[in-house]
Amino acid sequence: MPDTGIPWEELTAAATAAMGRAYVPYSNYPVGAAALIDDGRIISGCNVENASYGLTLCAECALVSSLAMTGGGRIEAFSCVDGAGNTLMPCGRCRQLLYEFRAPGMVLMTVSGIRTIDEVLPDAFGPQHLA
Ligand code: THU
């Protein structure tokens, strides 16, 4: 793995700890996500399902809510794991959620290695279109 200066092990550990909090009685598919913020803090989130299945909140939803609730900031790096602790690719909707709060050059640990947010969500729609 290239030395990007990102504490990937710490991030993945935070994602794995968050995964342990997942509420997934319907899919039995726990997910944990963690992000390094530009002020140095690490925030995380887990998925929370609902008896009305379509209302399921992905782990990334919890993460961006926590980001706002704990002072905001920009995501420099992101890691997401499944129930086995293996790297998981964020779903399309969640890539959009993350894009909104990206720091310049934001990177993600993915199943194909470290990728930038622009690589996993090319030509993204974003706040710039509404300015
Ligand atoms: N899930 C996430 O939390 N994040 C993703 O990026 C992919 C999917 C959750 C939603 C649902 O609770 C479970 O994984 C199965 O789809």
Task: Tell me what pLDDT residue 4 has.
Answer: 67
* pLDDT, tens digit (0-9, with 9 covering 90-100), for 51-86: 999 999 999 999 999 999 999 999 999 999 999 999
Q: Are 45 and 33 in contact (CB under 8 A)?
A: yes
* pLDDT, tens digit (0-9, with 9 covering 90-100), for 45-60: 999 999 999 999 999 9
Task: Tell me what pLDDT residue 1 has.
Answer: 43
What residues flank ligand 1, with Cβ below 6 Å?
Answer: 24, 27, 29, 31, 47, 49, 56, 58-60, 90-91, 94
Closest protein CA for atom 13 of ligand 1? 29
Angle of helix 8-19 relative to helix 59-69, nearest 10 degrees?
Answer: 110
Dihedral angle over CA of 89, 106, 64, 92, nearest 10:
-40
To test ligand 1's pocket by mutation, which of 16, 28, 91 has the most ligand atoms within 8 angstroms of CB?
Answer: 91
> So which residues are the catalytic ones?
60
Q: Are 11 and 36 in contact (CB under 8 A)?
A: yes
